[in-house]
A and B are shown apart, each in its own frame.
Chain A
Amino acid sequence: MSFCRLLFSTLVAPLALLALPAHAALRVLACEPEWGALARELGGELVDVSVATNALQDPHQIQAKPSLIARTRNADLVVCTGAELEVGWLPVLLQQSGNEKVQPGQPGNFSAADFVRKLDVPNRLDRSQGDVHAAGNPHIQTDPRNIARVASALGARLQQVDPQHASQYARLQADFDKRWQQAIARWTAQGASLKGQSVVSQHKAFVYLYDWLGLKEVAVLEPKPGVEPTASHLQEVLSTLKASPARMVVFAAYQDPRASEWLSRNAGIPAVRVPFTVGGTDGAKDLFGLFDDTLARLLAAQAGR
C-alpha cells in the first residue's frame, strides 16, 4: 500500500504539473534578447517570455545547457534569429526537447531572418573565409526597419499559434507598429548627420545598422568573421586608416573591448560600445531604448569624444 502511494506520488505529481500551466499564457522562448523584447511588445500579458541568452553573451557560442532544454520542451513558440546564427546550439535544443510544436517547419518555430532582406550573403561558401553564414549576415536586429518587418511577421505568428487571442494580438501589433514607425522617423532624422561617415567594426555585426544610417565600414578588426583579432591584422587595419581615416571604431557590448580600445588609442579615434541588443547597456532597456542608446553613443562619438 505504501509502495502504491509512493508510485502514485512519483508518477502522478509530474502529470499534475503538466496539466496546470496548459491554460496559462503562451510560452515563448526567445533565442536572443531583442526577440524576447519584441515578443513582450507584441504579446503583452498574453505571453510568458523567457530569453535563452543575455546581451553579454556571444549568440554564436551558446551551449545547449540543461535549463535551455527544459525551456524548449515547455515552449509554445520559439523565436530565434535563424540564418544559422544559432546553428551550434538550437538544433540540439530542438532535437532533445521532445516538443513537436517547435520543430523546424512548425508554426511554433519562428526565424526572424526569414522575413528580412539579408546582406553579406557570401558568393563563395568556404570556411577559408572564416565562420561565414550561407544565408547572409544574421545580425539583422541592428536596423529598426528590420525590427518592423519581423514584428509584422511575428504578430501574425502569435495570432496563428494562439488564435483565441488573435484580436488582442492584432491590437498590440497595431499599437507597436504606430509607435515604432514614429520612432524610426525620429531616429532616422537624428542619425542623418552620420551618413557617409567611415567606421571600423570589431566584428561584422553591424552591416544592417550601417546600411540604415549610411555609414561606411572601412575595416574590420577580426581578420575573418569569428576569428579573434590578431596583432598583425590590427597593425594592418591601423595602416589602412592612415590612407582612409575613420571616425570611430564600433564594438558590441558582448565583445572583448581590448582590440577596439587598442585601435582607439593608436589611431586616435573613439571606440564606441553599442548595446547590440536589448540589455547590452543600461540605456537599452527595451527595443526603443536599444536604438535611442545606439544613436546617442554614435552621435556622441561623432561630436568628438
Chain B
Amino acid sequence: MHKLLPASLALALALPLGVHADEASDIRALRQEIVTMRAQYEARLQALERRLNAAEAAVAASGATAVAASTAAAASTAAAGPTAAAGPTAAATAPPAAGAAPAAAVGAAPAGNEPPMVVQAPAAGTSPSAPEPPRSAAGANAFNPSIALILSGLYTRTSQDPANYAITGIQLPRGAEVGPGTRGFSLAESELALAASIDPWLRGAASISLHADNTVSVEEAFVRTTSFGNGFSLKAGRFYSGIGYLNPQHSHTWDFVDNPLAYQAFLDTQYGDDGLQLTWIAPIDQYVELGAELGRGRSFPGSNTGRNGAGMTALTAHTGGDIGESSNWRAGLSVLNAKATDQTLDAMNAQGVGVVNAFTGTTQVLVVDAVWKWAPNGNATRTNFKLQGEYLRSTRDGSLVYDVDGANSPGAYRAVQSGWYLQGVYQFMPRWRVGLRTEQIDPGSPDYGSNAASFADTGYRPRKSTLMFDFNPSEFSRLRLQFAQDRSREGVVDNQVFLQYQMSLGAHGAHAY
C-alpha cells in the first residue's frame, strides 16, 4: 500500500500537469480566437443572408442586375479562371491572400487563420434590386437551432387483436407500449428534433415526439459538454440510457418497425430517464468507452416516485474496432439498476385470468450487445451487411402484492428472466435492404413466496420471427414492409404485417454507429 501511494500520485499528477502547462500558454490565445471567430461567423452568416435575399430578388426581377453585381464581385476577388459556372455564388468566399500565413506565428496569431469572408459582404448589397434585409431579424434567426422533422406512418394488420397482447410469463407495466400497437392506418412516431451549440462549452438537443393519439412527449432534452476534454463528456437532462446497442437509438433509426421482445419485456421498449450521464473515451487506439448514469428512475423497470436520491444507476462499457478495411464491430456490457415502489403490473394468474399486481423492490438489467458491420472496402453505398445481437437479463428482487384489486395478498418476489435477439440486415443493391430477426424470451421460474399458488409456471418460451424489406429512395426517405410471426402468448400465433414510411425533413441527421 505504501509503495502504491507515491507511484499512483505521481502518475495521476503527471497527466494534469502536462495538460495545464499547455493550457496556460494557450488559454488567452484561445479566448481571443473564439472572440474573433464569433465575429467572423456572424459576418459570414449575414453575408449569406444578404446573398440569399439578393438572389431571390434577382430571380424575381428577371435576374439581370444580380448577375451583373455578382460578376463584378467575382472580379474583385481576383479569383483565378473564368467564373461562369459560379454565377451569383462567386461572392461566397475569396481565396486567402497569398501572404495570409505569417512565417512564424508562434503566438497562435489568429490572423494566420482568418477564414476569408470579409470582402464579399457588401458585394451583394450593392445590387440595386437587393434591398438591405432587416438586420436584426437575420441576425436573430441565424442562430436558430438545426431542426429536423421525422414523419412516420404505419399500416398494421394482425391476426390477433392487439388489445389482448401479452408476453407469457412476463409481468408488464400498466400502459406499456408493447406489441404491434393499433390495427389499420395510424400515425407512427413522428418526431421533431432541435439541436445547437449553446455556448463554446455546451451543446443542447431536444426531440419531441408526436403520437397517434394527439399527445406529445419529450423523448430527449439534454445539454452536453463539449469542452471537458480528456475524453470526458457530461450529459444532463432527459436522455435515453446508453445501455446496450439499441437503447440509445431513436425509433426512426431502427432496422425494424418494432423493438425486440426483450427490450419490450425488460425495458418497456426503451429506457429513458432524467438525470446525468458521464462518458469517457480511453486515450488509446482501441475504442473503449465507459459510461456511468444516475437518474430519477422515471420509467419501467423503475417507478416514478418522489425520492431525493437516484432511482436509477447504470454502468456501461463498450469497445470496438476495425477488422481490415471491410468490416468493423462494437461490443458492450451494461448494467442498469432501478428501484420501484408500488409499480402496477399486468399479469395472468394460475386460472388464466388477468390481474393487477404491485411490485416494490429493485431490478437489475444486464445487457450484452454486439454488432458487426461489413461493406466491400468499407464502401457501404452499393452493398453492406449488419449483424447484431443482444442478450438482456432482468433480475427483480423485492415484494409483490398479488391482485391489488381483489386478494391483495403481499408476498416475497424474485424473478430472473432473460431474452435475446439476433438480426441481420443486408443491402443487396443500392436503395434495397432485407432483414431477418429471430428472438426468444425465457421467463424463468419466478419465486412468488407466499403467493406461489396464485401463479402457474408453464415453462413456455415466447418467441418471434420477423422478416423486413425496405426501399430507400434517398437518404431521407424509407418505405418498409415487415412480416412477423409473433408467438409471445402461449398457444397463440399472431401474424403481423406492417407497412411503414419514415421521412426525414430539414437538418441532415448524423447517426451514431
Contacts and interface: CB of A to CB of B under 8 A. Distances in A.
B11 A120 contact: no
B231 A98 contact: yes
Nearest to A70: B287
A303 interface: no
Contact of A159 (B112, B115, B226, B287): B112
Interface stretch (B134-142, B174-182, B390-398, B503-511): B503-511
Interface in A67-110: 67, 69-71, 73-74, 84, 87-92, 94-101, 103-107
B92 to A, nearest CB: 5
Contacts of B101: 152-153, 155-156, 159, 173
A66 B328 contact: yes
Interface in A229-272: 254, 256
A88 B511 CA distance: 7
B328 A67 contact: yes
Contact of B15 (A11, A15, A63, A116): A15
Interface in A91-138: 91-92, 94-101, 103-107, 114-121, 123, 127, 130-131, 135-136
Interface in B464-513: 474-476, 505, 508-513
B513 A73 contact: no
A157 B230 contact: no
A61 interface: yes
B512 A4 contact: no
B325 to A, nearest CB: 6
A182 B325 CA distance: 35
Contact of B108 (A1, A65, A104, A163): A163
Contact of B381 (A61, A92, A101, A105): A61
A23 B22 CA distance: 11
Nearest to A164: B106
Contact of A166 (B18, B106, B381, B510): B106
A298 to B, nearest CB: 17
A100 B228 contact: yes
A103 B430 CA distance: 33
B116 A115 contact: yes
Nearest to A229: B430
B15 A118 contact: no
A69 to B, nearest CB: 6
Contacts of A136: 89, 92
B263 to A, nearest CB: 22
Contacts of A149: 95-96
B512 A64 contact: yes
Interface in A15-33: 15-19, 21-23
A170 B105 CA distance: 9
B330 interface: yes
Nearest to B325: A54
B88 interface: yes
A211 interface: yes
A66 B330 contact: yes
A160 interface: yes
Contact of B511 (A64, A90, A101): A64
Interface in B96-127: 96, 98, 100-109, 112-113, 115-116
Interface stretch (B77-85, B159-167, B264-272, B354-362): B77-85
Nearest to B89: A121
Contacts of B328: 63, 65-67
Contacts of A84: 508
B320 A166 contact: no
Interface string B200-229: 100100000000000000000000101111
Contact of A95 (B82, B203, B283, B513): B203
B95 A117 contact: yes
Nearest to A74: B283
A84 B475 CA distance: 15
Taking each of B18, B86, B231, B380, which has the highest tally of chain A beta carbons within 10 Å of its own beta carbon? B231
Interface string B30-64: 10011001000100000000000001000100000
B511 A97 contact: no
Nearest to B58: A123
B76 interface: no
Contacts of B226: 94-95, 100, 103
A78 to B, nearest CB: 14
B509 A17 contact: no
B186 to A, nearest CB: 26
A100 to B, nearest CB: 4
Interface stretch (B371-379, B414-422, B450-458): B371-379
Given A65-B320, A105-B37, A106-B30, A88 B510 contact: yes
A159 B280 CA distance: 29
Contacts of A95: 203, 224, 226, 233
A71 B285 contact: yes
B286 interface: yes
Interface in A146-193: 149, 152-153, 155-157, 159-161, 163, 166-167, 170, 173
A131 B100 CA distance: 34
B373 A117 contact: no
A66 B227 contact: no
Nearest to A21: B283
A292 B82 CA distance: 23
A17 B284 contact: yes
Nearest to A207: B85
Interface string B314-327: 00001111100100
A74 B285 contact: yes
B93 interface: yes
A97 B231 contact: yes
A109 B320 CA distance: 25
B8 interface: yes
Residue picked from A14, A121, A145, A227, most chain B C-beta under 10 Å: A121
Given A131-B475, A152-B100, A160 B108 contact: yes
A12 interface: yes
Interface of A: 1, 4-5, 8, 11-12, 14-19, 21-23, 53-54, 56-58, 61, 63-67, 69-71, 73-74, 84, 87-92, 94-101, 103-107, 114-121, 123, 127, 130-131, 135-136, 145, 149, 152-153, 155-157, 159-161, 163, 166-167, 170, 173, 207, 210-212, 214, 226-228, 254, 256
Interface of B: 1, 4, 7-8, 11-12, 14-15, 18, 30, 33-34, 37, 41, 55, 59, 77, 79-82, 85-90, 92-96, 98, 100-109, 112-113, 115-116, 197, 200, 203, 224, 226-233, 279-289, 318-322, 325, 328-330, 373, 377-382, 430-431, 474-476, 505, 508-513
7 contacts: A22-B18, A63-B373, A66-B319, A117-B94, A145-B95, A159-B106, A214-B82
- The 8 residue pairs across chains A and B that have the minimum distance between CB atoms: A66-B320, A121-B89, A156-B112, A66-B287, A156-B101, A70-B287, A100-B229, A98-B231
Given A91-B510, A97-B281, 7 more contacts: A70-B285, A84-B508, A117-B77, A123-B55, A123-B89, A160-B105, A211-B85
